[in-house]
Structure 1
């Protein structure tokens, strides 16, 4: 089920506990919490934990998790699908100037 990225589910708490996968089918993590902009009443990010160790280095895995921008969300259903950009964040030799994922 596709979702308008600007309109999160009516009960945003239903996202907590859902697994997050890239649109290539790679497990990214599990939603632990949401980042909200209270002024605009919008979801701005998904706080993930139980991270895929192959996508995130050990230092991030030892921390609480990461926040993925909500604009990366492609679909919400039984699972959440995000852009595959999350798979390319820490590849060796690539420019690591993208600071959208916060540890």
Structure 2
């Protein structure tokens, strides 16, 4: 998996499916030179995602508790660092484009 980037086309996508109990390492110059998009999946099925979406829609999962902050788009440049500071324990910070 550490060598997979060598087989991807320039501007291509590298997709890792499943979990590996080790480190993945890609040389940064190669990653940027190739302009790769790297995606990952736990090997979930469409039915798994449908079940999660249904749980959110019917209120079984409170997604609001995952949102730990809001940042107006006009304040991103000056507030990004503080919104994502480790002491804020960020999980998901929403950048509001309409503000």
TM-score, with length taken from structure 2? 0.22
The structure whose residues are more often helix, as a share, is 2
Higher relative contact order (CA 8 A, sep 6+): 1
The structure whose residues are more often strand, as a share, is 1
Q: Which of 1 and 2 has greater Rg?
A: 2
TM-score, with length taken from structure 1? 0.22
